[in-house]
A and B are shown apart, each in its own frame.
Chain A
Amino acid sequence: MCVMSQRGLYSCVIVAAAALLLASCASVKTFVVLLPEETGVPSAVTVGEGNRQAILEVPLSAAAVDARGNLEKSTVTTEEINRIFADALAAQPPKSISFTLYFDTNSTEVSAASQSALAELLAEVAKRAAAEVQVTGHTDRVGTDTENDRLSLERAEAVRTMLIQRGIKASFIRAVGRGEREPLVSTPDEQPEPRNRRVEVIVR
């Protein structure tokens, strides 16, 4: 039908361009794939809402949803994932790591036994780009709540100061004290428990 005058040809071109534009709008598609879990914990992603909802529960299962909401399930290979998502996957920041440092009774000095963990922590922070450090201090149940709130914060601050002295930017280190509220091991009040006299450090 496009065999005609120049004028007709122009209108044909316009119609074709419009059709192409429409087609490109209608061809917007979402493709989602469940990746293998680092921890092996079962996981899932729901796709869509209401009665058209689908669920991806098996690693490497995928779904495509077009502009009309039509959903098509499929399975992909690791090679396909690496091809489609290579750049996004390569840019993924490393997982956060936590360390636990222990303290002697009523002390804000990291115990001798925790010196190697401290060295590992410092190495991890040095290795990461723009490392953020969350320091949370804890105590055992010896002493009053008020004293333990203070001591737990002092322990966290002591670790924070140590990290700053090792050249870590202070704005990225947060220190909080949780007192005796979150024991690792439950004990009766006033019972010394070395496993609860600790500082937990998350490096992100």
Chain B
Amino acid sequence: MRFIHRALPVILFGLLVCGFERAAWAEIGQIKNVAGQVSVWRNNVQQTAKVGDLLEQADVLTTGANSSVGVTFIDNSRLSAGPNSRIELKQFRFDPTTNNGEFLADMQRGTLAIVSGQIAKRSPDAMKVKTPTTILGVRGTTFAVKVEE
């Protein structure tokens, strides 16, 4: 019983911290534009994407033929993809107070346009785009990538 008394505040604090951590981690961005067939894959489950959908770390965006998608992230980065694209939001971490963070997108195919945000501005090379043949480091930039097969 005494153990519980001592442990309870610690457990409650732990739960509270976990709760905040979750809230801080869950939402990394939002879908702002959808044309044609666009999907979000989360835990291998495919969902048809629509404007306003919230994105999480590890989500995968895919577009079909004649399709495109536009996304904003909580660090003000913007990413948009053209037809037949597949992009995994592999790692995303952002602290809005310090602007420290990390952004790794894994682009397997298609076309991509990116305007980097606070993460790249705060720390060069904290934002990266991986493709099948190389890795791109972003230093506060507007750029476009195509993976040709």
A pairs with B: yes
Q: Does A73 contact B (CB under 8 A)?
A: no
A84 to B143 alpha-carbon distance, docked (Å): 13
A85 near B111: Cβ-Cβ < 8 Å: yes
Task: Please tell me the number of chain B residues within 8 Å of chain A, measured between CB atoms.
Answer: 45
Q: When A45-B139, A91-B69 are in contact, do A35 and B113 touch as well, CB less than 8 Å? A: yes
B82 near A47: Cβ-Cβ < 8 Å: no
Q: Does B90 contact A (CB under 8 A)?
A: no
Task: Please tell me the number of chain A residues within 8 Å of chain B, measured between CB atoms.
Answer: 46
Across chains A and B, the number of contacting residue pairs, with CB separation under 8 Å, is: 149
Q: Does B132 contact A (CB under 8 A)?
A: yes
Q: Does B100 contact A (CB under 8 A)?
A: no
B142 near A93: Cβ-Cβ < 8 Å: no
Q: Does B68 contact A (CB under 8 A)?
A: yes
Give the B-binding residues of A (Cβ under 8 A): 24, 27-38, 41, 43-49, 56, 65-67, 69, 71, 81, 84-93, 95-96, 128-130, 132, 202, 204
Q: Which 6 A-B pairs give the minimum distances between C-beta atoms? A: A87-B82, A46-B137, A91-B68, A130-B52, A88-B82, A93-B32
A–B Cβ pairs within 8 angstroms, 17 of them: A29-B133, A30-B145, A31-B147, A33-B145, A38-B115, A43-B140, A49-B135, A66-B133, A69-B133, A81-B144, A84-B146, A85-B111, A88-B85, A90-B68, A93-B33, A129-B33, A129-B51
